[in-house]
Amino acid sequence: MAGQGWRMLVECLSVGRGITLPSNSTGGVKSVALATGAYAHIRRQFKISIGKMEGIEEPLARIAGNAYVMDAAASLITYGIMLGEKPAVLSAIVKYHCTHRGQQSIIDAMDITGGKGIMLGESNFLARAYQGAPIAITVEGANILTRSMMIFGQGAIRCHPYVLEEMAAAQNNDVNAFDKLLFKHIGHVGSNTVRSFWLGLTRGLTSHTPTGDATKRYYQHLNRLSANLALLSDVSMAVLGGSLKRRERISARLGDVLSQLYLASAVLKRYDDEGRHEADLPLVHWGVQDALYRAEQAMDDLLQNFPNRVVAGLLTAMIFRLAVIIWRRLISWITPLRRSCRCQTPHVHVLGAVSI
């Protein structure tokens, strides 16, 4: 391999990026969570432990939640690498989000510890981690570049069932293969359109889930948002074409949706692999709900700023507003019935559970 150093570096990049920085950031946040939680329990102000103050509880919860999410994401990609995979897109996702969440967690810890985190000395357990956080953000693909160009820029091609093969067929002038792939692609878009609309209309309630416990709705929301992302990706590529890579804010927001779906999936997998312990549910709820919120927010931001306003309006109605309007109409019909029936028959009890 003499003279092939660059090739060797590129081939190993996805593997190294998926292990080193995510595991380093995850380990750092886990130690910060342990130390900061203990400090908040011991440190007293106004005759109470500061960990019992609501203002401190919020950043403490973020630190604990981020530690759980990061550990789940880093463990999942490490398992994939151990199976022999070279997950270029997932390594970019995990590198970005683990280092970013790690930095935010250290900032939260510095806010909690106050002066003790600022004054350097042998007993300061935060300052050096705070100083080193920008290094992880910068190396092996700066986070700004990773988010705006690499995650969806690579994912749109590598993760799509037909685009990469269509590009290869076009490059090889294989008209027959390209035509077959094109018609499959059109059918795929049509299927995603119907699925996205139906899952949005039903709020994902009709989709299959592997479990019926407290995490069931999370799987259904992931199914719904995955269908939405597939539709948004195909429409964005069709409308914007080759300029999509240069539209960095659009690419970044699509990448944000993909990333949050991965993080939520990693949390659910960790919870399942570890035996579904009820004690872990608060962390699972925080991690998945945070990811689902961020994914929907990224979709909304994308549609609010999509360059083709007609297409944006149609997609917004299909993914968000039409489903909400129909659900509100249904509830407006059901609510008077619930108020007037006085529980005369056993089946009326189910009406009390209807909500949007």
Q: How far apart are CA 356 and CA 354, in angstroms?
A: 7
Q: 48: which DSSP letter?
A: E
For 188, counting Cβ atoms within 10 Å of its Cβ (0-12 exposed, 13-18 middle, 19+ buried), the class is: middle
Q: Give me the DSSP letters along 328-349.
A: HHHHHHHHHHHHHSTT-SGGGG
Positive or negative torsion for Cα 201, 203, 209, 211: negative
- List 11, 85, 140, 296, catalytic entry: 140
For 228, counting Cβ atoms within 10 Å of its Cβ (0-12 exposed, 13-18 middle, 19+ buried), the class is: buried
140 is catalytic: yes
CA distances from 4 to 9, 40, 176, 201 (A): 9, 52, 37, 53
Long-range pairs, 50-55, Cβ under 8 A, ≥24: 50/112
Q: Give me the DSSP letters along 220-237.
A: HHHHHHHHHHHHHHHHHH
CA torsion 18→21→24→27, rounded to 10°? -60
For 45, list phi and psi in degrees, rounded to 5.
-150, 140
Angle between helices 281-304 and 309-316 (to 10 degrees): 150
Which residues contact residue 22 at a Cβ distance below 8 angstroms, ignoring those fewer than 6 apart? 70, 73, 74, 77, 94, 95, 98, 99
Please give the structure tokens belonging to residue 221. 């929301």
Q: How far apart are CA 158 and CA 98, in angstroms?
A: 22
Catalytic amino acids? Answer: 140
